[in-house]
């Protein structure tokens, strides 16, 4: 293992003393805020943790390059993740699927790094260091003003406000989808002025390819800057994909009202509102063809089985036999050999899904071009 955190807690939550090591070299020592994070994972003994840099602790930002192949060197906060809903099975699924997207897609993703955690000098096992995708992230990455960033979540017809305001979306964007015919190019152009449609296409392809059944009724967020013209179109945030890449869902494809196959057990009434924007846009021929052409790119390039296998193997190599010590510390995690088998199932999912889904998309694209 290359990275190691050592946390010495002074009180139950925060402040805490944090040191970070790589390859036996101490990289930094800070006092940070320490918080328990997560929802279902809170019930587990090794909980997800939030680390917060604040002026009152002595330093308002961390200025270090934490993530490999990612140039950002400024962070206000980081998360130490136990793997979420899939944690005890793989630990790395969410980070693995996200790494497949990095460098190939347009939506926002959270970088990751595997580490070993010690709390009060006691071994606490494997964790995944993750960015928090919030207004702090967008300020640090794109030099945007946090006070003018909108982040929405949930169903588009009545979104929750994660940050900022929903006013522009509700007053200018949503009415186009509810009351205008987007098959008409003049209305499609209006939507394109307000939303980054290429970004949205990538996002919906990724979520539907991985067959994430914890979406879109959950884990859907989109964002924009109010005052920066480069980022004032709505874009999507890719996160919490622990329910993707499940082997028995390899022959499910649900593209909203546009196309459905193998979806007998998908809870349509609960999930259908999440496809409101997509359903309306797929009525436009330009968007439909662009979506399907891009889908083939994802199948042939982003989810190329050799590429996906290489990414997973790199993560397995990062962990190595540390998994054995981790599992011995937290026995509800799987034995090493079983863990490897479960990880291999993800490769089987991708290889078989890649072969299964391509003819469906090719047929849809051929039909769309002929109409």
- Per-residue pLDDT tens listing for the chain (371 residues): 456 655 554 446 578 999 999 989 999 999 999 998 876 666 778 889 999 999 999 999 999 999 988 889 999 999 999 987 787 899 999 999 999 999 999 999 999 999 999 999 999 999 999 999 999 999 999 999 999 999 999 999 999 999 999 999 999 999 999 999 999 999 999 999 999 999 999 999 999 999 998 899 889 999 999 999 999 999 999 999 999 999 999 999 999 999 999 887 665 556 778 999 999 999 999 999 999 999 999 999 999 999 999 999 999 999 999 999 999 999 989 999 999 999 999 999 999 999 999 999 999 999 999 97
For 157-184, letters b (16+ CB in 10 Å) and e give: eebeebbbebebbeeebbebbeeeebbe
Q: What is the reported pTM?
A: 0.94
Do 111 and 68 form a contact (C-beta atoms < 8 A)? no
Torsion angle, alpha carbons of 226, 232, 238, 239, to 10: -10
Strand, helix or coil at 109?
coil
Q: What residue spans define the domains of the chain?
A: 3-135, 146-302+352-370
């Amino acid at each position: 293992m290359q990275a190691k955190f050592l946390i010495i807690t002074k009180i139950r939550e925060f402040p805490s003393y944090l040191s970070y090591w790589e390859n036996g070299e101490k990289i930094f020592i800070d006092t940070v805020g320490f918080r328990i994070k997560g929802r279902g994972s809170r019930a587990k003994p090794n909980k997800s943790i939030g680390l917060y840099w604040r002026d009152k602790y002595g330093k308002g930002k961390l200025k270090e390059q934490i993530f490999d192949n990612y140039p950002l060197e400024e962070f206000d906060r980081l998360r130490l993740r136990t793997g979420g809903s899939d944690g005890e099975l793989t630990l790395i699924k969410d980070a693995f699927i996200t790494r497949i997207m990095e460098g190939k897609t347009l939506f926002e993703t959270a970088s990751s790094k595997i580490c070993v955690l010690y709390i009060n000098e006691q071994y606490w096992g494997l964790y995944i260091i993750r960015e928090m995708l919030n207004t702090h992230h967008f300020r640090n990455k794109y030099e945007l003003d946090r006070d003018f960033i909108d982040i929405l979540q949930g169903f588009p017809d009545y979104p929750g406000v994660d940050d900022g305001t929903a006013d522009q979306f509700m007053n200018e964007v949503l009415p186009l989808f509810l009351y205008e015919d987007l098959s008409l190019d003049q209305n499609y152009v209006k939507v394109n002025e307000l939303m980054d449609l290429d970004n949205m296409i990538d996002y919906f392809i990724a979520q539907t390819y991985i067959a994430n059944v914890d979406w879109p009724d959950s884990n859907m967020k989109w964002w924009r800057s109010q005052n920066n013209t480069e980022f004032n179109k709505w874009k999507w945030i890719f996160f919490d994909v622990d329910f993707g890449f499940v082997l028995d869902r390899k022959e499910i494809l649900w593209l909203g009202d546009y196309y459905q196959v193998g979806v007998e057990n998908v809870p349509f009434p609960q999930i259908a509102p999440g496809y409101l924007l997509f359903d309306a846009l797929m009525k436009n021929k330009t968007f439909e063809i662009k979506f399907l052409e891009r889908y083939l790119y994802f199948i042939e390039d982003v989810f190329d089985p050799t590429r996906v296998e290489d990414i997973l193997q790199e993560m397995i190599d990062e962990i190595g036999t540390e998994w054995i010590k981790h599992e011995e510390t937290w026995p509800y995690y799987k034995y090493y050999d079983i863990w490897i088998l479960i990880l291999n199932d993800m490769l089987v999912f991708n290889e078989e899904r890649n072969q299964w889904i391509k003819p469906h998309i090719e047929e849809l694209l051929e039909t769309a071009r002929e109409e």
